[in-house]
Structure 1
């Protein structure tokens, strides 16, 4: 209950910050709307007593009041919905923005890559969409609170014993609270299965996998697996639904007994002369209202419980992101690199796995050099790149730039001097020029800067093929959007990496996977030449990551990663002379391409 009250306060505070005028108007209208039904019952009592007493004039006036209160009961809540419905939408936008900020506001990637964190964030995404309903529920609970207070006062005026009727209403509310806990537990237990089923659904309904699904005749297999996953989740949820239904039924039966007792008590008082006919009508009307209030309250409490779970997860995510903020910086990122980047006894294990991905890495990347990191899939190449970008910090050891640990630099300032192109690049569905320009936001709409980046990436031909050039809308999200091939998207991503003119570190992590080996080799040659030019000016280090050994032989330093450690390091000629892993795999791949 404390968690529910805390969540209520947070949602109401957020709504008030976004729309104080709307919320104030809604509160007034909901209070009046809550008071109208019990006052209507009181007016009915007085009207009936006046009719029995023969007071025609009083009965007519009371009838008019009854009509007015009936209209208020029906209309005030509807009028209140307009402002608080708009406030609810604004709260949802605020919460969406906060979730986006939290998802991208941490120093690293741990909350994206850990499965247990992914489950929590997946549930939070779903629950945030229910926040408008939650705010509607809170406003309805406010109205119910006012209505219940008036109802209790009027019941007490007939008999103090009738005060127990609203108290009895707490039993089904508590039962609903317990039932919701049962359902929440079931949803959490089935979260992984649910995420897998949604992933299958997205694969089966998206355009990208459609070709392989048809060629490999996977339709039936997708349906079978999707059905099996939902069946597994359904069994867990069905058991929870049955158990929660029995709990709620017990609460409702308890209140029904109290309802019957209240009606019998009012009839007994009327028969014994201690009450009027109007009092009997009052009790029956109020008891019926209490029953409706309970049913409404139960639904509102369900919404409140869902909102409570969502707010609890949101607080968890806030705490998680806050705990993963980088340590205070006490050094400035230099304008240029004098000696290079040195990795000393670096080890790393992904959080939550207990498995070491890198161990005892000792390596120097000289200033102004072009460094190729090669190795088979899973060797640890991309993990090394993540440490250089500080998506994670090393578990042990240190990474130093000119003798200064990079953890001492302000994180934003360090990343501001890095340019990257990744294998799993983003397809920004915006204007073609902006797809490139986001690589250096101050020059987002600078046509000359974008064209220069396209030229450095050998991607100007992609723009030349678009009818509206840099202003062409990209992506299928838009009716007039132009869809590109995988290779074209990749070239624009590479151009994005070339937007920053003088980075300290240029990293290309298998960015040409959609290209053949010859095309990759030519691009790497061009990038290496570009890296050497800017390296002469400010010591920029260019890092090329590839699993194709034959495409990186132009590099000044070739680093072979195997099983999480540095197996070999040197230039192409020295590694061939060494006759180790590089030489073996280079000749093997070269022979395969020649054949």
Structure 2
């Protein structure tokens, strides 16, 4: 199906799927309301002709049309607006639910890394409300078509030449299209500035950044930057709006002069006996209606264009999600590991970047092993963790899980077998119970599981210090919400990682960075104990990223990374004996502690 037809069908189907009954009734009511004004105008012309010719039947017809129009208008207005408002709310709810479903259904992270995709996603998000009013715009468009057909019929009944007037009015449609196109281009061109402004505003109002902003006196710097970006955005958009206003004003002036000439012409025909008094009245009363009609079409062209563009982006997002859904990855994840995870010549570059973050990594993570990744910042450790979680697929090479390519395993099924703790953990501002329980949604209601996870994550002291224990709302943005320190948030994040008791792969990417060395060592003893249990029952692998060598020495396998490559690997004693990079880094850290 061509993209244009697919977009229109998406708009129509979404509107009627959201509220099929309400949309059908509303369509009938808006059509009735749309023909009321021109029909009553025709009734007035019949009444005038009836009075002029003293024909009772014509007078009665005119009065009947006028009264009937009033009745229809009364009923349509009384029922139509509440129904339309309800249909619009249903439509908005449907659109936002669909957007959330589509975006969260994309299994990878590529769309977060590509600026071009991020810009388009921002457009979809920022203009989502325009799709939400799609039901109302659809009804407006239907009403405009109905009204136009009625007005053209009445004008044609006076003289076919008068049909030229609405055609002249079509110039307003053209001007509206040009104006909306230019304004849309201005919006799209200013999206990078808009995203940056939103981010700077978040930084300015975030309590976590408030300390540095004040210490370094960055308030004015941020405000100046935001003001400069806003000014650039507004100048671009105002220039587009000003251009559109000039074009529309010129077109309306030409149309008004043409309609004035038409009225003079009809009056002249009536004086010559070629038209009736009712015809003159009809043309006079239709003049503002034609202007309203063309203005309505022009307005609808703008809004229809906006809605179509929004649904076009939404259609793009759906197609993008479909193409990046990894639907071909249908192999179920294993219940246990027997041989382990093997990386064969794995290389990776982030989307939009030509430089490789990982290069030619060949490595085996044995089933049941605790593996530590060490190396300086930027060595590629976190990227390797993301590949193991299949947030991305390798650019080159492959990752095999018990001999099966990870790229063929269903991503959600694989991740259901994982657990993780990260340095950049999320501060979920929920109740303390929920913050921990969401580590395993399937067991979120299991109180014993939550308490066990808290114990294993060494977070009992955090819960004990909360005014309402596990039922305490976290986050100062909420009434009675409690803010935690970085270390307390991290302990809850660690407890969350312990909710899944027997993961096939436990990923720990510096999850204790905010804790003191003693607390970290105690926690890693917990992790080591859990890893042994998981190894014996499921062959589970624990992957630990840390800069503290006192911790990684307990690992079964230590992998030293440098510039995106594996430089050496082995046990702690073997690597010390080898005298390579690991031994050098270990000695530097040990000397600092001494």
TM class by smaller structure: over 0.9
CA contact (8 A) 2:387 2:393 kept: yes
Partner of 1:202: 202
Partner of 1:167: 167
Alignment of 1:134-533 (within 5 A): 134-326=134-326, 328-329=328-329, 331-533=331-533
Deviation at 1:329, TM superposition (A): 4.4
30-39 vs 8-17, which moves further: 8-17
Counterpart CA distance in 2 for 1:229 and 1:322 is 35
Deviation at 1:54, TM superposition (A): 5.0
What CA deviation, in whole Å up to 9, does each residue of 1:420-444 have, x standing for no partner?
1122222223332222111112211
426-435 vs 286-295, which moves further: 426-435
CA contact (8 A) 2:45 2:282 kept: yes
Aligned CA distance change for structure 1 residues 9 and 70 (closer, same or farther; 3 Å): farther
What CA deviation, in whole Å up to 9, does each residue of 1:370-421 have, x standing for no partner?
1111222222111101110111111111211222222232222211111111
CA contact (8 A) 2:10 2:315 kept: no
Gaps of 5+ in 1: none
RMSD between superposed Cα atoms in Å:
2.3
Partner of 2:21: 21
Deviation at 1:125, TM superposition (A): 0.5
SS at match of 2:275: coil
Aligned CA distance change for structure 1 residues 525 and 83 (closer, same or farther; 3 Å): same
Counterpart CA distance in 1 for 2:558 and 2:583 is 12
CA contact (8 A) 2:131 2:311 kept: no
Aligned CA distance change for structure 1 residues 232 and 535 (closer, same or farther; 3 Å): same
Is 1:105 aligned to residue 105 of structure 2? yes
SS at match of 1:169: helix
Deviation at 1:550, TM superposition (A): 4.0
SS at match of 1:399: strand
Aligned CA distance change for structure 1 residues 553 and 46 (closer, same or farther; 3 Å): same
510-519 vs 377-386, which moves further: 510-519
SS at match of 1:209: helix
Counterpart CA distance in 1 for 2:169 and 2:160 is 16
SS at match of 2:127: helix
Aligned CA distance change for structure 1 residues 176 and 428 (closer, same or farther; 3 Å): same
Aligned CA distance change for structure 1 residues 10 and 337 (closer, same or farther; 3 Å): closer
What CA deviation, in whole Å up to 9, does each residue of 1:222-251 have, x standing for no partner?
110001111222232233223333333343
Counterpart CA distance in 1 for 2:492 and 2:222 is 33
TM-score scaled by structure 2? 0.94
570-579 vs 298-307, which moves further: 570-579
Aligned CA distance change for structure 1 residues 279 and 83 (closer, same or farther; 3 Å): same
Is 1:91 aligned to residue 74 of structure 2? no
Alignment of 1:37-52 (within 5 A): 37-52=37-52
Counterpart CA distance in 2 for 1:72 and 1:268 is 35
Aligned CA distance change for structure 1 residues 278 and 177 (closer, same or farther; 3 Å): same
CA contact (8 A) 1:3 1:308 kept: no
CA contact (8 A) 2:46 2:61 kept: no
Gaps of 5+ in 2: none
CA contact (8 A) 1:204 1:210 kept: yes
Counterpart CA distance in 2 for 1:138 and 1:333 is 46
SS at match of 2:208: coil
How many pairs were matched up? 593
Counterpart CA distance in 2 for 1:108 and 1:204 is 30
